[in-house]
Structure formats: C-alpha cells, structure tokens
Amino acid sequence: MIFRDSLKKSIETALDRSRVVALLGPRQSGKTTLAREFVPADSPNYFDCEHPLSAARLDQPWLALERLRGLVVVDEIQQRPDLFPILRVLSDREGTPAQFLILGSASPDLIKGTAQSLAGRVETIEVTPFSFAEVGAMQRHWVRGGYPLSYLAGSEENSAAWRESFVQRFLERDIPQLGITISSTHLRRFWSMLAHYHGQTWNAAEIGGALGVSGHTMRHYLDILCETFMVRQLPALHENVAKRQVKAPKIFFRDSGIFHTLLGIPDFEALSKHPKMGASWEGYAVEEVLRKLAPRECYSWAVHNGPSIDLLCFKEGRRLGFEVKYQDAPRLTRSMSAALEILKLDALTVVYPGSARYSLHKNIEVVPLEQCLLE
C-alpha cells in the first residue's frame, strides 16, 4: 500500500476553503482511491458516472443531488457535462449544505463547462501517478513509471503488459469519450514518433512531414496529449539578451513507463542498451523535480549553437536552474557557466544518477537525483 499523505492533505486544505474541489489527472493515476478515503464507494454521496447504477441515479440529477448533505463525490465527471450548471447552483446555496469533490480524467480545457459554470467556485488539484518521493525505489519507478498498477505489478512482464493495455484503452476508448474524432491508428503513430523527440525541441513541420500531415494537425495532436496529461510542453524562456534564442518548447513524456512502452522497452536491461536512455533519464528527472518544486513558472532555455539549460524554475522569487546529466561524475562546462551568468541564476543544480554530492562553482552544485527529491 502506497500512502499519499501529501495529496490527502492538499485535498483536505482545499475542502476547508472551497465549495467545489476538482481532482484532475490521467485515468488510473489514483484519483478514485483518494476520493474513497473521504467518501466510501457505497455511500449515497458517491457517484461514478461510468457505473450503470450511478448513471440511473443521475437520470434526474437535480433530485439526486439537491437533498444530499456533506461531501458529495462525482467521479469521471467529464462523462456528464450537463452536471456543471447544476453544481454551480447547488454550491451557491446559503450555508453551503453540501460540498462537491469532482474527479476527471482530462484537463479543465477538455472538461466542458468547468471554466464557465464553476468559475470562481472550483479549486483544482492535479493527481499524478506515483512520484519517486511516494515510492522510494528509483530504478523500478524510472523503468515502470508511476501508474499504480504498472509500478505495483508482480513482474516486469506484467508491468509492461499493463502499460500496453493502458495505451490501447486510452486511444480506443478515452479519446473518443472526450468527443475527439481522430483515428486511434494515426494518434498512435504520432505518439510513437513523438517518443523519439522526448527531451528535444518541438518541430511540428518535421514530424508532420514524416507522417505526411500538416504542421497544424501535428499541433492539434500534441495539444490533445498535453491536455490529457500524457505529454508536457516546457516553454522556452526568452531573455532580453543579444543572442538568438530557441523559441520552440521542449517535449517530455510525463510518465517514463509510458515512454518506454511506446519505444518497446520492457525492462531496465533493455533500457540500458537503448540509445534513448539518456533522454529517458532527462525526462524522468525533469518531471520529478517539477512535481517536488511545483514552481510558479518553469521553462527550458537555449541559445542557437550556444549555452542551454534543461529546466529553469521560478520559485519564491528565486531563479533555480537544473541541468540533467546521465554521467558518472559531471564536470563544469562553459554552457553551465554561461547559463548561470546570462540568466542570473540564484543556483544551478546538476542532477545525476550517482551518490556523491559536490560543488563545481560557488552557485553550481552536483546533486544525486534521489537527494534532490528527498531533501
């Protein structure tokens, strides 16, 4: 059993101050398990929009919800966009007789009605798959990713099989249920090709040319994967410097296990021989650092044919840089020194898979990823 105390505390805090709290994240990331710690599945206050009994109870949604008191859970709410106007009225009642914890498997932009109907009433919490801080076994977490049924599988073979099944369900069921009419075969080809750009600068025209479709279509496909929490676009920072800076975002898969599945990597032995091992490590480290820091803003930064930095976070008025290296003992480079000076970083952390921590410069330190995430 993996305890998610930090997420539970975030939900409790949100419920103390908000009438509606939304748990958003990819399917199978643990939203339902968390919600059932607040309201049991057999409670009359629990609705699962994909369950036939709940669907029948919600045939008359106002009558079903208006009489309830306390905390009410509505799971997979993206299936029932007609509930949003009703939740707005119910959450505005004097004395707030009921609060609502709503769960969705897509971002706010894809859950129709959230932005309009519940504006000013809803507080959103993103539920990701397990983080390293929650599981504490880095190699296993890196290879399998954080989806609970993948991470906890009894063998590498079972984990790989679950992830392949997840990808198929996502393409063939989840995407159509969001009202997106795209061939699952086309989206799978795009997703698989995108895996080869993991950790690299996005180039819609290049990928579109390889697939024989327009750059506009490629951007649409990318937006779908970002809005369903599969992929992250890390925007490029543009500083006021006399240098030609990269303007396109970098692309990262948000779950390393799904990334490995799309590349046909079943276990660590296969990963250790794969040419994308370094890119896999970079994406894994970037995602875990972002989960830990939850920065106000985050960027990549690079100068054409010049210095670059993998991750720049703005946190509590500080500029924190992170450079990810899959090396035994990273050394100071001109790129690091230039990034520190040009970006006026308060600190630059070089993250690597080793065990020793050491300084390269007054404001540049090499830190094992495990220490970076747990300190």
What whole-number distance in Å separates Cα of residue 375 and Cα of residue 115? 36
- Output the pLDDT for position 108: 60
Please report, as a single letter, which amino acid is at residue 220: H
Among 126, 146, 165, the domain boundary falls at: 126
According to DSSP, the residues that pair with 324 across neighbouring strands are: 351
Q: Does one domain contain both 208 and 350?
A: yes
Quickly list H helices, the chain: 5-17, 31-35, 52-57, 61-66, 83-91, 114-117, 132-135, 138-144, 148-151, 156-169, 175-177, 184-195, 204-211, 215-227, 256-262, 268-272, 277-293, 334-342, 369-374
Q: Give the CA distances from residue 43 to residues 12, 127, 179, 349, in Å, rounded to whole numbers and listed in that order.
A: 19, 23, 30, 48
Q: Does one domain contain both 106 and 136?
A: no
- Output the pLDDT for position 116: 67
- Output the pLDDT for position 331: 96
Q: Does one domain contain both 281 and 199?
A: yes
Name the DSSP letter for residue 303.
B
Q: Does one domain contain both 283 and 326?
A: yes
- Output the pLDDT for position 113: 57
What whole-number distance in Å separates Cα of residue 235 and Cα of residue 250? 7
- Output the pLDDT for position 109: 58
- Output the pLDDT for position 16: 94
Q: Does one domain contain both 118 and 166?
A: no
Residues 132, 137, 139: CA angle, nearest 5 degrees? 95
pLDDT for 66-95, tens place per residue? Answer: 999 999 999 999 888 889 999 999 999 998
* CATH number for the domain harbouring residue 111: 3.40.50.300
Residues of the chain with pLDDT under 70: 107-116, 242
- Output the pLDDT for position 210: 82
Q: Does one domain contain both 236 and 156?
A: yes
Q: Does one domain contain both 353 and 230?
A: yes
Number of domains into which the chain is organized? 2
> Residue 102: helix, strand or coil by DSSP?
strand
- Six token digits for residue 350: 């070089």
Contact 27, 229 (CB under 8 A): no
Among 126, 149, 168, the domain boundary falls at: 126
Q: Does one domain contain both 217 and 320?
A: yes
Range of the domain at 238: 132-374
- Output the pLDDT for position 186: 86
* CATH number for the domain harbouring residue 258: 1.10.10.10
Q: Does one domain contain both 113 and 151?
A: no
What whole-number distance in Å separates Cα of residue 341 and Cα of residue 297? 20
Q: Among 263, 236, 33, which residue's Cα sits nearest to residue 143?
A: 263
Q: Does one domain contain both 110 and 79?
A: yes
Name the DSSP letter for residue 94.
T
Q: Does one domain contain both 149 and 278?
A: yes
Among 58, 91, 126, the domain boundary falls at: 126
Q: Does one domain contain both 183 and 305?
A: yes
